[in-house]
Structure 1
Amino acid sequence: MSESLTGIIPPLVTPFTADGEIDEAAYRAEVRFMLTKGVNGLCVGGSTGEGHTLSTEELVRLVGVCIEEVNGAVPVVAGIIVNSTRDAIAKAKAMAHLPVAALQVTPVHYVFKPDEDATYAHFEALASATAFPIIIYNVVPWNYLPPPLLVRIMKGMDQVIGVKQSAGDLKLMADLLNARLPGKIVLTAVDALLYPSFALGAHGTIAANPAAVPGVTVSLWNAVQSGDHARAKEIHTALLSFWNTINGDNLPACVKYALTRQGCPCGLPRMPMPAPSAAQKAAIDAALAQVLVYDTTVGRAAA
């Protein structure tokens, strides 16, 4: 299963209406838009998708709709962002009827931090309660799991098929890759450094840049895989400038704006997240004009 979860796997944003309800029509159109960009998979309910705000019912519906729209074309990963083992198991069980390729699961993310044995037990309990493969979403700043613990979990649980590294320290990524665990994957969410992550051997990415400019990140991935590092470096330079315009506390809202500017309207963020400011929009527009020249799919119609 892990072998299919490689390449560019954008985390879908969740389009909301002005009253905070899911805009399903816009969401379906977003899935179709992503498929025109040649992505290798899709992730539902991640942090870019404001997954921390979704009820279990909303998450299950969004995952089901995504699976329906892709119709087997690419694998679908489901995000779980909760604060207890009990809630993680409940969300996983609610999706048991769906052909989900893997779960992307954060460590608990409230103020209190479990020790390493408790964290191990958290993922062990989840693995025992569901048949889905699990990817650890290593993103929580005050509960950031070090490489030795991640390796311990992956070695101890066949069902934990990999890690999504989301900190800015490329050495931690390199340490995980250097562990060389057979059958396991290391995905990067170090948005500013996707190119060096790919060059080091990361198996793919689930991150905000792929969500905002999927065609560009597909071009970057393809350039690295073909050994065209001169082109990859050129794309990286433009992509980094773009990243600097969307990175912030309202990142999902900025990703939605970037997609809307590409002809894929993605609604509003869910309160209390603010929409992009006028200054943010102007910066995103300018950076988009530079980075989208690397999207070879521009102009391709959605199916």
Structure 2
Amino acid sequence: MNKKYFGVVPPIITPVDEKENVDKEGFCKILDHCIDGGLHGIFVAGSNGETMALTQNERDNAIKIAIDHVNARVPVMSGVLDSSTRRVIDNIKKLEQLGGTCAVITSIFYARHTSQNETIRHFEQIAKETDIDLMIYNIPMFTGIKLNAETVMKIAEIDNVVGYKDSSGSFPEFMRCLTHFENTDFSLLQGTTAFQLPSMLLGADGFVPSIAPLFPELFVKAYEAGVRKDIELATKYDILIRETSKILGMSKNATAANKFALSQIGYTHKRIIEPQDQILPEEEQKIIAKIAEINEQYEQLKASL
């Protein structure tokens, strides 16, 4: 097997300046931080990257910065999410011009969904227009439709569809995919961090946690323990990973919580794109305390191994 996409792949935030344009300097620093920390890839222009809040020019700018700065050190998966097949194809054509090699595609959104088949047709038509890798992205909270395992399997028959990121929260359906794609080159990435432990132990190729850049070593060690099927150690890491996920719930806006938490590394600003609710000062203090608590617990865990 020759898996292209595996490991811990954060859906990276998009740092922005006062005018809500991409903060290139901060973005490059956090990309380096991720790679130096051992993370296995970057997912740019996803929902955590506020891709639909950016202007089209700034979305393209974020993708270009990521592709150019990462410079093939790790794979870059680029979101081309949009509301129609033609719009996605246009995004992919731009991605090709920017040097992108992997497009992450959801079902269309802001539309009435009538069937699972519409998403199959969506991928079939897109695949006719490009030779780059295509990744299925199942995120019903934003698209309004939950892809089932049969739909994923059907889309995967298309030659340049290479993997699946599942943020549906439906673990039984993901398990069906794990069974179906066992011993193939098709990559299965768990998008719900709460399911990373059973997913890895059952054969997933990786997971896509938004908070991973804050604790890269912890997430990489958890992935490696899962690959080795070391249940005892993987469980110990997972206890801490579940604590990291609590950070996202410490503000009513998970994006604001995530950006503030990552700003504590020192490379980026906590700024989010309007009109989202900003994080409150008391919420910031809770997050700072939780980060310190997790770091202390992780050091204790390492000392005990």
Q: Following TM superposition, by how much is the alpha carbon of 1:111 offset from its aligned partner in structure 2, in angstroms?
A: 4.3
Within 2, Cα distance between the matches of 1:36 and 1:179?
34
Task: Give the number of aligned pairs.
Answer: 295
Residues 1:295 and 1:32: Cα distance change in structure 2 (over 3 Å): farther
Corresponding residue number in structure 2 for 1:285: 288
Aligned residues of 2:21 and 2:58 also touching (Cα < 8 A):
no
Q: Following TM superposition, by how much is the alpha carbon of 1:71 offset from its aligned partner in structure 2, in angstroms?
A: 2.3
Greater mean deviation of Cα atoms: 279-288 or 167-176: 279-288
Q: Following TM superposition, by how much is the alpha carbon of 1:198 offset from its aligned partner in structure 2, in angstroms?
A: 1.1
Greater mean deviation of Cα atoms: 172-181 or 119-128: 172-181
Q: Following TM superposition, by how much is the alpha carbon of 1:249 offset from its aligned partner in structure 2, in angstroms?
A: 5.6
TM-score by length of 1: 0.90
Residues 1:73 and 1:148: Cα distance change in structure 2 (over 3 Å): same
Residues 1:279 and 1:242: Cα distance change in structure 2 (over 3 Å): farther
Residues 1:163 and 1:64: Cα distance change in structure 2 (over 3 Å): same
Within 1, Cα distance between the matches of 2:55 and 2:90?
11
TM-score by length of 2: 0.89
Residues 1:216 and 1:57: Cα distance change in structure 2 (over 3 Å): same
1:278 alignment partner AA: P
What SS is found at the alignment partner of 2:104?
strand
Corresponding residue number in structure 1 for 2:216: 214
What SS is found at the alignment partner of 2:15?
coil
Deviation sequence 1:58-80 (CA, Å, 0-9, x none): 23222221122222211111012
What SS is found at the alignment partner of 1:230?
helix
Q: Which runs of 5+ in 1 are unaligned?
A: 297-303
Aligned residues of 2:203 and 2:227 also touching (Cα < 8 A):
no
Within 1, Cα distance between the matches of 2:50 and 2:162?
24
Corresponding residue number in structure 1 for 2:205: 203
Aligned residues of 1:41 and 1:76 also touching (Cα < 8 A):
yes
2:258 alignment partner AA: V
Corresponding residue number in structure 2 for 1:95: 95
1:177 alignment partner AA: L
Corresponding residue number in structure 1 for 2:180: 179
What SS is found at the alignment partner of 2:163?
strand
Over 6 Å off, 4+ runs? none
Aligned residues of 1:26 and 1:267 also touching (Cα < 8 A):
no
Of all paired residues, the percent bearing the same amino acid is 25
Corresponding residue number in structure 1 for 2:11: 11
Q: Following TM superposition, by how much is the alpha carbon of 1:2 offset from its aligned partner in structure 2, in angstroms?
A: 6.8
Matched, 1:255 2:255: no
Corresponding residue number in structure 2 for 1:72: 72
What SS is found at the alignment partner of 1:201?
coil
What SS is found at the alignment partner of 2:66?
helix
Aligned residues of 1:212 and 1:255 also touching (Cα < 8 A):
no
Q: Which runs of 5+ in 2 are unaligned?
A: 301-305
Corresponding residue number in structure 2 for 1:47: 47
Q: CA RMSD in A?
A: 2.2
Within 1, Cα distance between the matches of 2:56 and 2:232?
45
Higher relative contact order (CA 8 A, sep 6+): 1
Within 2, Cα distance between the matches of 1:249 and 1:151?
36
Greater mean deviation of Cα atoms: 37-46 or 53-62: 53-62
